[in-house]
Structure 1
Amino acid sequence: MNDDTRDASGHDPDAKHDERGGRDVTTRDRIEHQPNPDERGTRLSAAIGLLGLWLVVQAVWLNPAPGRFWNAVLVGGALLAVGAYNFHRRANEEFGSAGVATFAALLGLWLVASPLLFGGESGTAAAAAGEVVVGLLAVGFGTYSAVAIRNRRKEADARSTATYDRTGQ
């Protein structure tokens, strides 16, 4: 049974409400959504980005074979972009993206496996060891970041998105 007896024509348009005197939306009428006010996770995202930067610098510095060089540059650039994206989101008081963090972990797995796939003759041992170390760190940071984002989203309050416009009251 619908017990809604409200009637819009019964509202007195001359009644005083909030005395703001215009049609502008005030800060009192807007509810801001800040799910991550402490900017948690920015250092973790920065670490993922720095791993990518290190991988690119290492590739240029050690000058491995072309296949390993481009692998390091492309994966390093992707890690840098992933870290920068989640850093930007978290620095703006939003949650990071769990999917992007998972992608960082997958890139780390690729780095761990790539020396086995490219073989021993396609670069220096230092480049291969560096890729494995960066890959293991990326797997750890990316996995931890994705799980932390997922848990924080579960614990967060429901998002308040309403903007109340009281000018017609």
Structure 2
Amino acid sequence: MDATPRLAASGNCLLGCWLITAPFVFAVAGIARWNDVLVGTAVAVVAGYNYASVRSRRPPSATGAGVVAVLGCWLVVAPFALGFEGPALWNDVVVGTVMASFGGYNAYTATAADRDP
């Protein structure tokens, strides 16, 4: 298995951990805090599972990687839909973009590995 899916999964795991702590760093309260903590926890758990899969020479979970990609897309949209402002807005947009890219790549590699004989 290529090192790139492992890097993408570990990067998403780290981004999920960052999302858990970011509301406290930026002193955000309310719905913005809970959104980041819940999405960050889900991403850290799923990406951690995918990292463990890739580390043991199995393809990442396509469903899990797809969920991470969708959550990354949600992070891009959420600040505008929920009315965030300041650094929390741009943090979610940037982290969501990277997270969706890494999750999409892992979903692609997982489905490509399923098609290989």
TM-score (norm 2): 0.92
Q: Does the residue aligned with 2:67 lie in a helix, a strand or coil?
A: helix
Out of 90, 97, 113, the position equivalent to 1:129 is 90
- Structure 1: which 5+ runs fail to align? 1-35, 158-169
Following the alignment from structure 2 to structure 1, what is the Cα–Cα distance between the partners of residues 30 and 54?
A: 36
Q: Decide which moves more: 56-65 or 66-75.
A: 56-65
How many angstroms apart in 2 are the aligned matches of 1:86 and 1:74? 18
Report the AA paired with residue 72 of structure 2.
G
What displacement does 1:153 show? 2.0
5 Å matches for 1:10-159? 36=1, 41-120=5-84, 124-155=85-116, 157=117
Question: Judging changes above 3 Å, is the alpha-carbon distance between structure 1 residues 66 and 125 closer, same or farther for their aligned structure 2 residues?
Answer: same
CA distance in 2, matches of 1:56, 1:133: 15
How many residues end up aligned between the 2 structures?
117
| CA contact 2:72–2:95 (8 Å) conserved in 1 | yes
Larger Cα-atom Rg:
1
**After TM superposition, where is structure 1 displaced by more than 4 Å over at least 4 residues in a row?**
none
- Coordinate RMSD, CA, aligned: 1.5
TM-score by length of 1: 0.65
CA distance in 2, matches of 1:95, 1:133: 27
- Structure 2 gaps, min length 5: none
Task: Write 1 or 2 for the structure with the bigger share of helix.
Answer: 2
Instruction: State the distance in 1 between where 2:11 and 2:76 align.
Output: 18
